[in-house]
Structure 1
Amino acid sequence: MLKPFVKSYQERINNTMENVNFTIMFILGFSILGGLMGASFFQKLRIPQVLGYIVIGLIIGESGLRIINRSDVIALQPFTFFALGIIGFLVGGGLKGENFKKYGRQFSAILLGEGLGAFFLVGILVALIMFKLSHNISIAVATGVVFGAIASATDPASTIDVLWEYRALGILTTSLTAIVALDDALAMTLYGLGTSAAQILTGGSGSILEAIEKVALTLLGAVGLGAISALALKFILQKVHQPERSLAFAVGLLLLLISMAISLDIDVILTTMTLGCVLTNIVPRQSEKLFNHMRNFSTPIYVLFFVLAGARMGISRMPIWLWVIVILYVIGRSTGKMTGAYLGASITHSAPVVRRYLGLGLFAQGGVAIGLSIMASHHLGKIMVTENLALGDAIISGVAATTLIVQLIGPPTVKLAIKLSGEIGRNITKEDVINSWKVADVMDTDIVTIPENEPLSRAAQTFVNQDYLVYPVVNRHNKIVGILSLQNLKDILDDRDSWNWLVASDVMTPVQYRVVPSSPLKEVLEQCNQLHIDQIPVVKESDGDAPVGILDVAKVEQLVDKETLRRQQP
């Protein structure tokens, strides 16, 4: 009876396995492992790990061995959008409302300074080269405007990755996070206006007013969609209290949000960044754990994203004049961003470290610039710069080459900026402190024990005179034989007469859990949480029955808070 069914089922399985494309799985595994090995190598050289990911991508991608080709990158495009969505969400989580209230004027001035500085300087340099090449003022200005608009974008992914890797914290880190997050909106605005102007100059259709309207609708759509999603996620977090389920709900909502943004032609990073920003400001405590879990979850996604970013950078067979544009683009963009950031910070009287070093953190260029160049190729693909090269193709190749260069120099300069400002290693969390401590670092050694034959009436006085709710009960050899808690006394509170003839050993409970001074604090706190214990006896390393202290969870939390604050100070 079952034999035909089993045979049919096996045939279906075999047919399915034959049709599965294992190439994608190989690329995923190979990229993650290769990226991690590259990152480890670069970290040993004290170079940011993100550079290792990108270099591995270059080696195995279009510019190297071509293990990953363009069709593979296209097939993994949905994953790239997912990675950008997580990046935007985590970047938005760092945009606190109090920082904008305090530094909003400075952020605005710096943003406009560095963005417009790169836009104008790159635009002018590229336009001059193109005019010398084509002798056509319209094509020259159009090319300069588009390159300038793309140059204003800063890659938040690699910048933030360096800040997280080196645990940076301070006013420079706060300013840098805000600027790279808001750069997307400015770059999109300049790009929308720039491409419309380029189309008009080169004889295409369109108008500046239409461009302004389209940019406004795109920005408002991204903010509105992200804000609505944040309210939905807030509701979920208030109903779901398990961290793992909260993370699963957040990932599912992110995927839906990303798909809606793509279908509506809205910027993914800006949309998910709004989600993270609104969420962290309306439910700061509940969202803090979610952001930490998401950051831990995102590690392999980050690795794969940057490896693929390096793999798709194909810059072979570029003409010499385009390489000249690339070099001038990098110089002009770097100079414009550094000068503009300095001027914006100086005008608003920003902190000295912001004025001096913020510009160093704005060199990185990545997914946003590549995406804008691809969009520009669609709008300007029919305009010929030379007999064999269209303007759209020139923009894609040029931006890919500049992205390669600035991605190699960008992460190290971010590290240099936070190093010079003294902000490396200051982003200490409570978890970091707990992980670094043993029980011996926080236990109270001024221990009070209760003899097993002590009357309850006298033992009760110990609870009145001391602060603890739990005390070790010891025998005449000072060996722990049990625990007397306030709850034990409450259980016989109605029978006060019995307190004169009952002794501690009559109502004590067995020792449920004990620790030694060398026990890792993290493991002990996790065990206390599972067993719902607030205080726990600490015994000698060599003698597990001899009490040497008490661990009070409430006091530990206070000590951790103080130590975290101390370590975060410059």
Structure 2
Amino acid sequence: MTGLNPGILIIFGIGVFGGILSALMARRLSIPQVLGYILLGVLLGEGGIRLVTQEDIQALSSFNYFALGIIGFLVGAEIRFSTLQKYGKQFAAILISEGLLTFFLVGLPITVILYTVMGSWSGAIAAGIIFGAIASATDPASTINVIWEYRSAGILTTTLIAIVALDDALAMTLYGVGTGIAGILAGEGVNWLEQILRISVELGGAILTGFIAAFILKWILRYTDKLEVILPSAIGLLLLTIGTAVFFKMDVIMASMTMGIVVVNLDYERSKKVIQQLKNFSDPIYILFFVLVGARLTLYAMPGWLWLMIGVYVVARTLGKIAGAWFGAVLSKTAPVVKKYAGLGLFAQGGVAIGLSIMASHHLQHIPVSSSMSLGDVVIFGVTTTTFIVQLIGPPMVKWIVKKSGEAGKNVTIEDVLAEMKTSEVLNPKPVIFYEDLPLEKAVDMMAQADQSIFPVVKRSGEWIGLLSVSGIRQVLPDPSLWQWMVSSDVMTDPPKDMIYPHTPLDKALALMNQKGYGEYIVTDETHQKIIGLISRHHIMREVEHRVLAETF
């Protein structure tokens, strides 16, 4: 055990447990919980108590890829081909408009600032191009996290999901072209056409990898629906997809996102179970990912001109996202709510921007800006700091716009409604009841005409003493000629030991019915003797689906 760095282990323990506590505090303050995770990371990292070092963060780079892969898959699973077919032109117009406008609004002033510091146009333009390309990226993780937290659904939500999912491809394209031009300007002799070809191959390879993984997962889903098989299979295929993308230096998010898109569109019904399980599985991974985002930040020892550049970057990027999204929405004649709010939901900046900044720093590390800082350092410090700032702004803005647009709370699931409803809301208060002395032959005739499959047997005083069903009678007395000689109490079975009451939550009542294998169940009072009514699985699901539709629309 000697030589083991405890920071790696501590960040997993404190990161998850502390992240949950910080999220609870964030909820009390009515701010998105992702901010709690990031602030905890700042406290633990170099900018705080330094419990987690940059070396620890570097050692966890594989974990970050895994987190980005899960994020990409779940983001892709939100995109339906039918939606893209219906709104594809609007999405493309908004994407290109906000991406390119942000690129130019950020790149130009950054170039001017760095020229005043360096006195070199070539280096300043190279960095300005890279900053502009990175600024066009939008972090899908925190945006989607807030959308899920507030259960948002609607045209604005769909637009945000599509844009943040596709922004990475645009940012990488701009980055590929930009680094080629930057390399030429910095004297590296880089061929920008080769850069475009390289980035095209990387994106194409990522898409192909995601397609292959998706088809394998679809084949598995076709032959089994057991969670103990499909969940490990999905995670294993996702890990293979991520690993392949990393090994061949392809875009991790694009590969995993393609996998999610293809799976959900090839077999939506079967894939829903996988997606829900992955969402549940991903909670601690999300927490650690955002804690690491915060821990990466170092605010000390940055010169004043760098802070000025950071401020200009944040303001210019914000203007580019808002104005570009509005202009694209106007051009494509999309819904007014998208024109008004879409740009305000695109502030977040995260893993992709950090990754691109790390790659860019290698190209620019040899160019000095001052005696203690290279152009590569400027890119790293600038992007990391701006990521932290916009992550403080971005999630609250997403929360605000989904609430102002009326789309918060619209993504209601059957599970949500089941947890909210009580058994009393779906029971039949007047089921057919048999007295204990009712002739069995007459009871069978009544069963044939009744709209229920189980029948409580009671005493004349009303006390519940047993159950009858046609299938139960046939098992005990297969010869119908015997029915005329017997009464209900002769062949009834005992009431179940587990009872359902009117105040029982509907999800618990349905879970008990599923466990017992019953399609119907008797509801009693607390004494277990007086029958209140009867519930059926069919009626429960019909009422719940109606409630889901009513709350959604």
Q: TM-score range by the shorter chain?
A: over 0.9
Q: How does 1:151-190 map to 2 (within 5 A)?
A: 151-190=135-174
The structural deviation recorded for 1:491 is 4.0
Is residue 426 of structure 1 aligned with residue 410 of structure 2? yes
What's the secondary structure of 2:465's corresponding residue? strand
What's the secondary structure of 1:481's corresponding residue? strand
- Other-structure match for 2:483: 499
The structural deviation recorded for 1:358 is 0.8
- Other-structure match for 1:465: 449
Distance 1:511 1:205 in 2: 85
Letter in 2 for 1:288: K
Is residue 537 of structure 1 aligned with residue 535 of structure 2? no
The structural deviation recorded for 1:486 is 2.8
Residue of 495, 501, 510 corresponding to 2:494: 510
- Other-structure match for 1:311: 295
Distance 1:331 1:441 in 2: 52
- Other-structure match for 1:39: 23
Q: How does 1:437-452 map to 2 (within 5 A)?
A: 437-452=421-436
The structural deviation recorded for 1:148 is 0.4
Residue of 209, 219, 224 corresponding to 1:235: 219
Distance 1:463 1:205 in 2: 88
The structural deviation recorded for 1:400 is 1.1
- Other-structure match for 2:197: 213
Q: CA offsets per residue over residues 489-520 of structure 1, 9 Å max, x none?
A: 54478633223223222333322354221222
Residue of 183, 198, 223 corresponding to 2:182: 198
Distance 1:43 1:329 in 2: 30
Is residue 360 of structure 1 aligned with residue 366 of structure 2? no
Residue of 26, 37, 41 corresponding to 1:53: 37
Q: How does 1:169-568 map to 2 (within 5 A)?
A: 169-491=153-475, 495-512=479-496, 513-541=498-526, 543-568=527-552
What's the secondary structure of 1:453's corresponding residue? coil
Is residue 78 of structure 1 aligned with residue 27 of structure 2? no
Distance 2:317 2:413 in 1: 36
Relative to structure 1, is the Cα distance of residues 443 and 48 closer, same or farther in structure 2, using a 3 angstrom cutoff?
A: same
The structural deviation recorded for 1:79 is 1.3
Distance 2:2 2:436 in 1: 73
Distance 1:212 1:315 in 2: 35
Distance 1:195 1:314 in 2: 25
Alignment check: 8 A CA contact 2:431 2:534 kept: yes
What's the secondary structure of 2:47's corresponding residue? coil
Q: CA offsets per residue over residues 371-421 of structure 1, 9 Å max, x none?
A: 000000112222233444322111111111211211111111111111211
Distance 2:68 2:173 in 1: 19
RMSD across aligned positions (CA): 1.7
The structural deviation recorded for 1:537 is 0.8
Q: How does 1:7-18 map to 2 (within 5 A)?
A: 17=1
Distance 1:283 1:485 in 2: 39
Alignment check: 8 A CA contact 1:114 1:340 kept: yes
The structural deviation recorded for 1:328 is 0.9
Distance 2:214 2:334 in 1: 32
Paired positions, count: 552
Query: With structure 1 as the length reference, what TM-score do the two structures score?
Result: 0.93
Q: Percent identity?
A: 47
Query: With structure 2 as the length reference, what TM-score do the two structures score?
Result: 0.96
What's the secondary structure of 1:482's corresponding residue? strand
Q: CA offsets per residue over residues 96-154 of structure 1, 9 Å max, x none?
A: 12211111111111111111111111111112222333343322221211110000001
Alignment check: 8 A CA contact 1:120 1:148 kept: yes
Q: CA offsets per residue over residues 513-559 of structure 1, 9 Å max, x none?
A: 54221222212211211221100111122x20221211101110111
The structural deviation recorded for 1:370 is 0.6
- Other-structure match for 1:10: none
Moved over 6 A (4+): none
Distance 1:161 1:239 in 2: 32
**Relative to structure 2, which stretch is displaced further, 25-34 or 325-334?**
25-34
What's the secondary structure of 2:188's corresponding residue? coil
- Other-structure match for 1:4: none
Alignment check: 8 A CA contact 2:140 2:165 kept: yes
Alignment check: 8 A CA contact 1:315 1:400 kept: no
The structural deviation recorded for 1:18 is 5.2
Runs of at least 5 residues in structure 1 that lack an aligned partner in the other structure: 1-16
